[in-house]
Amino acid sequence: APQVTDILSPEFATDPYPAYAAMREKEPLIWHEATQSYIISRYEDVERVFKDKKAEFTTDNYNWQLEPVHGKTILQLSGREHAVRRALVAPAFRGSELQEKFLPVIERNSRELIDAFRHTGSADIVHDYATRLPVNVIADMLGLDKADHARFHGWYTAVIAFLGNLSADPEVTAAGERTRVEFAEYMIPIIRERRDHLGDDLLSTLCAAEVDGVRMSDEDIKAFCSLLLAAGGETTDKAIASILANLLMHPEQLAAVREDRSLIPAAFAETLRYTPPVHMIMRQAATDVQVSGGTIPAGATVTCLIGAANRDEERYRDPDRFDIFRQDLTTTSAFSAAADHLAFALGRHFCVGALLAKAEVETGVNQLLDAMPDLRLADGFDPVEQGVFTRGPQSLPVRFTPSTV
């Protein structure tokens, strides 16, 4: 069948939503030559692949997608090995841990960033805030030296470039692979040192974690920390930029949130549905699988379009409308990350950091609204989203009345 669109074309990168709608309607299962994968776009199909109730899919694709920059991470593991690893790391990201240990870290880092520009009357939310907060928070949670935050940011940028390297630029590939080496040279001695002097930080928790007699090696912990940079940085920064862009573009909803802060979780959920940070996740079929009237053959790669599934008219009413009051999206409680959109995936690999992301975004929005009672977009500015695998506003210039702390 002729392809509705090419997911690697420039028009697609500018605005994928018309193409997503056409795929859902006319080509819910298509072979895509350039990525050598089958693309699915309907909510029902993507949900089924993520939930994977019959163990028809693996994450073996991450062996070539992630291994060169991170080494072996939890995302590459499956079966019992994955379950044990998940049990080793997940407790550190529970609501109770966040509340006690990490909420203060988030609040402090957010305040520091805001204090750096609140007296100026203008800022770029993407550059000055969103891209910095998640990386600073993770580095701080791990108990790393503040002085190393800039290096962290550099590694993070190189990893993100590697993961989004659609044109396979050899320099970007080389820089990504170099990051793996440099990150290991940096982290491994710190991990060894920390094992001897356990503290109250995330790295100590990972060093001490034990499940059924299994513990993580230095290499396992280093790979996990590397994944945290990308999985927790690149995604949460997009979520922060997107929630603010969506609210600033819908002033009546921004006013409602400003008035009643208990609406922030609903704004967060709707932002993740409407503008998810991660638009595509791949899997590999372990067996022949029937999807939307076609067959994905065993061994084939499947590209799951989260961005398309989250706008499926079979699942959401008026899906192309940003509406924090929508009735078909449950707003979860403060300590639950459960979601009925697909932005965090579902099933075994459901985002470990979902609650952390939620806490960062909610704290960020609250603090920005507190510090800037008249926060608004710079005159004439329309946020431009960019990205294919991950996607978010490239820049978000705002104005406000300057204030001091």
Supply the minimum distance, in Å, between the C-beta of residue 122 and ligand HEM: 26
Among the listed residues 403, 338, 340, 360, the one whose alpha carbon sits nearest the alpha carbon of residue 130: 360
Q: How far is the CB of 307 from ligand HEM (least distance, A)?
A: 11
Segment 81 to 100, residues that bind ligand HEM, using CB under 6 A: 86
Does position 236 bind ligand HEM by CB under 6 A? yes
Helix (H) or strand (E) holding 295: strand 294-296
Residue closer to ligand HEM by CB (options 297, 347) is 347
Q: 211 pairs with which residues across the strands?
A: 214
345 scored as a contact of ligand HEM (CB under 6 A): yes
| Sites for ligand HEM among residues 134-193 (CB under 6 A) | 138
Q: Give the Cα separation of 206 and 92 in Å (integer).
A: 8
Pairing relationship of beta strands 392-393 and 122-124 according to DSSP bridges = unpaired
**Residue 343 touches ligand HEM, criterion: CB under 6 A:** yes
Q: Which is nearer to ligand HEM, 118 or 132 (CB)?
A: 132
Q: How many chain residues are in contact with ligand HEM, going by CB under 6 A?
A: 24
Q: How far is the CB of 403 from ligand HEM (least distance, A)?
A: 28
- Binder of ligand HEM out of 46, 49, 75, 247 (CB under 6 A): 75
How far separated are the first and last CA of the chain, in Å rounded?
61
Is residue 360 a contact partner of residue 105, using CB atoms and an 8 Å limit? no
Q: Is 349 in the site for ligand HEM (CB under 6 A)?
A: yes
Structure-block tokens of residue 40: 């699915």
Site string for ligand HEM, 265-304 (x = CB under 6 A): ------------xx--x-----------------------
Stretch of 231-239, 246-254, 291-299, 362-370 contacting ligand HEM, by CB under 6 A: 231-239
Of residues 100 through 139, those in contact with ligand HEM by CB under 6 A are 138
The reply to whether 74 sits near ligand HEM by the rule CB under 6 A is yes
Question: Residue number with the shortest CB distance to ligand HEM?
Answer: 353
Question: Based on CB atoms, which residue is closest to ligand HEM, 332 or 400?
Answer: 332
358 touches 343 (CB < 8 A): no
Q: Would you tell me how many other CB atoms lie within 10 Å of the CB of residue 14?
A: 10
Helix (H) or strand (E) holding 285: strand 280-285
To ligand HEM, the closest distance from the beta carbon of 26 in angstroms equals: 26
Q: Which of 244, 212, 282 is nearest to 368 (CA)?
A: 244
Query: What whole-number distance in Å separates Cα of residue 192 and Cα of residue 185?
Result: 12
Rounded to 5 degrees, φ, ψ at 146 are -50, -35
Give the integer Cα–Cα distance in Å for 233 and 235. 5
**Choice from 16, 28, 319, 353 touching ligand HEM (CB under 6 A):** 353
In sign, the C-alpha dihedral spanning 266, 267, 268, 272 is positive
**What does the binding site for ligand HEM look like in residue numbers (CB under 6 A)?**
59, 74-75, 86, 138, 227-228, 231-232, 235-236, 239, 277-278, 281, 343-345, 349, 351-353, 356-357
